[in-house]
Amino acid sequence: MDEKKRVLIVEDDQFLREFYEELLVSEGMKVETAPDGEEAGAKIHEGGYDLILLDIMLPKKDGLAVLRETKTIPSVKANGPIVILTNIGQDAIIKSCFEAGAAGYMIKSALNPDQVLQEIHNYLQISNLIT
C-alpha cells in the first residue's frame, strides 16, 4: 500500500475498540476511534475515511441514527463504505441499516481476528480503495 488507509472505528466497548484499533494499525492502517454516536457523527461529517466500522448500540446516538444522518448531511470530504459492527442479528435491524446506506455488516461475536481483517480488506477492495 502506497498510502495508509484511514479507518474510523465507532465502538462504545473500550476493549473491542482498542482491539480493533491494534489489529488495523498492525496492518499499516491509520485508525481513529469514537466511543459514541455524537463523536462519530462529527468525525464522519469531517470525512476522508476509506472505511467506517460503525456499531449499532451506542451511547448518546445509536449507529442507525448516525447512518441516517450521513444521507442528509454531506461530509466535508468523501467517505468510503460504512460497515455495521454488531452482535444484533435481527433481520429487521440489518435491513434498516442497508436501507440507510450501510455497505455491509459484521457480527462481532462470530468473527475471529483473522476473519475481521479479511472482511475489512474485502470491503476496501470492493470499493477499489486498495490494489
User: Residue 100 falls within a domain, yes or no?
Assistant: yes
User: Residue 102 falls within a domain, yes or no?
Assistant: yes
Q: Supply the pLDDT for residue 129.
A: 46
How many domains are there within the chain?
A: 1
User: Residue 85 falls within a domain, yes or no?
Assistant: yes
Residues 6+ apart with CB under 8 A from 107: 86, 87, 89
Mean pLDDT over the full length of the chain? 88
Three-class SS string for 44-81? HHHECCCEEEEECCCCCCCHHHHHHHHHHCCCCECCCC
Instruction: Evaluate if residue 73 carries a pLDDT over 50.
Output: yes
Q: Supply the pLDDT for residue 127.
A: 67
User: Residue 130 falls within a domain, yes or no?
Assistant: no
CATH number for the domain including 25? 3.40.50.2300
pTM of the model: 0.90
What would the grid cell of residue 93 be?
Answer: 435491524
Q: What would the pLDDT profile of 20-51 be if each residue is shown by its tens digit? A: 999 999 999 999 999 999 999 999 999 999 99
User: Residue 113 falls within a domain, yes or no?
Assistant: yes
> CA separation (Å) from 102 to 31, 52, 128?
20, 10, 17
Instruction: Evaluate if residue 108 carries a pLDDT over 90.
Output: no
**Mean predicted confidence (pLDDT) in 61-74:** 90
User: Residue 59 falls within a domain, yes or no?
Assistant: yes
Write out the E strands in the chain.
Answer: 6-10, 30-34, 51-55, 82-86, 104-107
Q: Supply the pLDDT for residue 126.
A: 73
Q: Domain span at residue 67?
A: 6-125
